[in-house]
Amino acid sequence: RFSTLRPAQTDGPFALDAAFRADTDPRKVNLIIGAYRDDREEPWHLPSVTEAKRRLKVEHSHHEYLPLQGSPKFVEASRRVLFGPAIVQQQQPFLASIQTVSGTGANSLVAVFLEQEHLRPTNIWLPNPTWINHADIWKVNAPNVKMQWYPYYDDAKRELDFGAMVETLQRDCQEHDAILLHACAHNPTGRDPSQRQWRELAQLCLKKRLFVIFDSAYQGFASGDLDSDAWAIRHFVSYPSIELAVCQSFSKNLGLYGERVGALHMMVSRSNPNGANLAAAVQDNLIDLQRACVSMAPLFGSRIASEVLGNSDLEEMWKADLSTMSGRIKAMRSALHDELLQLRTPGSWDHITEQTGMFSYTGLSKEQVEELQLKHHIYLLPTGRASMCGVTSANVSYIARAIHEVVSG
């Protein structure tokens, strides 16, 4: 028993984070993990969340089980934030929603759901590159669905490779395949399709009858505006026969990383007269599948989220918090870009300010990343992905000088 088991590889960013912690050099900089830090490199307590906790009087709250679908108040609020009130009102009968163990739980649950024999798509199409966990999620939860990759990024131009993406999907997707799209702030590249390109993708998904899975981990965190960051999802919903799922995470936009707050929403065809019954069946099946795995999602974080999302004054505070976080990241992008320009670092660095969301896909090579770590104690992923949350007014010059040195050779 167990003799064939090989040691598993720890998830790259988490292993690297352990190396960072062990580094005793006072100049060390952490550009690894995707979690917001303030300008003092500290986790930030969102004022809206602090106020919600105060109002909830958490010291007196109970710790009973949530219903299997999750907190009804939370599910209702999460739908409204994601789709907007008009879509929720019109499409409610076609919508199944369940509170999940954050975005990861939602991604896993949709994979388990589609793995069922009577639904099974031949292929799941993932962007290359994508969030490091997507491949494992599909491998573990849907071993009978073949994983396929569509090109997403042009390394040389440091831009979205829309032409190659569409060409591959047009040519190689089979009808009823599933496709995963990042709703905004693509991790790791920070490059999203334009509205024109999203329109084209929606047409393609419609024509090929693809089942669309949006991963929405950064709503409001990318642009600072909740509605703009949900534009692509809402556009796809405007095609009644596109069936879709959305994996929604509140880790980043509410800073509730460890509380595991999220939801999975599935919208069946709005052109099927039996749609409402189908949505109810989807809902029941999602509940059953999650029941077998974790019973139900955790309570505490969803209470905070419901309080913030369910009170207009707290929701306004939250929107200001989103601007604070996205604003600081944008400011750090500009600062790093300007420092590199001032140093006349070889190459173009415009992509740093053009990319959106938490990460910069710097374009630094694996060797340059290694040198940054060994010589300068600056840690980022071997792919050159740097979390902009680790850049502060105090360390940005140091980071720029180090990049200048490794790039200049």
* Cβ partners under 8 Å of residue 147, min gap 6: 123, 124, 126, 135, 138, 139
Bond preceding residue 47 cis, omega within 30 of 0: no
Q: How far apart are CA 301 and CA 257, in angstroms?
A: 9
Least distance in Å: CB of 271 to ligand PMP?
A: 29
Read off the DSSP letter of residue 6: P
Least distance in Å: CB of 258 to ligand PMP?
A: 9
Residues 217-256 that bind ligand PMP (CB under 6 A): 217, 249, 251
Applying CB under 6 A, among 70, 103, 127, 275 the residue interacting with ligand PMP is 103
Q: How far apart are CA 394 and CA 409, in angstroms?
A: 25
The alpha-carbon radius of gyration of the chain (Å, integer) is: 21
Instruction: Return the number of the residue (258 or 346) whose C-beta is nearest ligand PMP.
Output: 258
Looking at the DSSP assignment, which residues form a beta bridge with residue 37?
43
Q: How far apart are CA 355 and CA 333, in angstroms?
A: 9
Least distance in Å: CB of 30 to ligand PMP?
A: 15
Applying CB under 6 A, among 187, 326, 383, 387 the residue interacting with ligand PMP is 187
Least distance in Å: CB of 298 to ligand PMP?
A: 12
Least distance in Å: CB of 357 to ligand PMP?
A: 9
Q: Letter for the amino acid at 405?
A: E
Residue nearest to ligand PMP (CB): 103
Tell me if 373 contacts ligand PMP by CB under 6 A. no
Q: Is 336:359 a contact under the CB 8 Å cutoff?
A: no
Q: Is 332 helix (H, G, I), strand (E, B) or coil?
A: helix
Applying CB under 6 A, among 102, 253, 326, 360 the residue interacting with ligand PMP is 102
Residues 278-337 that bind ligand PMP (CB under 6 A): none
Q: Letter for the amino acid at 15?
A: A
Residues 115-134 that bind ligand PMP (CB under 6 A): 131
Residues 26-45 that bind ligand PMP (CB under 6 A): 34
Q: Is 17 helix (H, G, I), strand (E, B) or coil?
A: helix
Q: Is 219 helix (H, G, I), strand (E, B) or coil?
A: coil
Least distance in Å: CB of 321 to ligand PMP?
A: 18
Instruction: Return the number of the residue (138 or 257) whose C-beta is nearest ligand PMP.
Output: 257
Instruction: Return the number of the residue (236 or 349) whose C-beta is nearest ligand PMP.
Output: 236
Instruction: Give one DSSP letter per residue of 352-382, joined into a string.
Output: HHH--SSEEE----HHHHHHHHHHH-EE--T
Q: Name the segment binding ligand PMP (CB under 6 A); options: 24-32, 60-68, 96-104, 266-274.
A: 96-104
| Angle in degrees, CA 235, 268, 271, rounded to 5 | 80
Tell me if 368 contacts ligand PMP by CB under 6 A. no
Instruction: Return the number of the residue (145 or 217) whose C-beta is nearest ligand PMP.
Output: 217
Q: Letter for the amino acid at 4?
A: T
Instruction: Return the number of the residue (67 or 258) whose C-beta is nearest ligand PMP.
Output: 258
Applying CB under 6 A, among 215, 307, 339, 371 the residue interacting with ligand PMP is 215
* Cβ partners under 8 Å of residue 181, min gap 6: 127, 201, 212, 213, 214, 215, 232
Tell me if 74 contacts ligand PMP by CB under 6 A. no
Instruction: Using CB under 6 A, list all residues that contact ligand PMP.
Output: 34, 102-104, 131, 182, 187, 215, 217, 249, 251, 257, 262
